[in-house]
Amino acid sequence: MQGYCVKCRTKREMKNAKAITMKNGRPATQGVCPVCTTKMFKIGAK
């Protein structure tokens, strides 16, 4: 699963990606950038 890393300013493959549900009920995917270990987040992904 790819996501945008705000710190690196580029798209990368997420490490430890897991599907979550936000407070408003929408699906999302949360992971970690493999280069800088910053949290990555993608809304509406399965």
Q: What is the pLDDT of residues 18-33, one digit of tens each?
A: 999 999 999 999 999 9
Number of domains present in the structure of the chain: 1
Give the containing element (helix H, strand E) for 10.
Answer: strand 10-13
Is the pLDDT reported for residue 45 higher than 90? no
How many Cα atoms are found within 13 Å in the side-chain-facing hemisphere of 15? 9
For residue 7, give its domain range. Answer: 2-43
Q: How confident is the model at residue 40 (pLDDT cuts 50, 70, 90)?
A: very high
- The answer to whether the beta carbons of residues 19 and 8 sit under 8 Å apart is no
Prediction pTM value: 0.79
Is the pLDDT reported for residue 1 higher than 90? no
**Angle in degrees, CA 7, 5, 31, rounded to 5:** 120
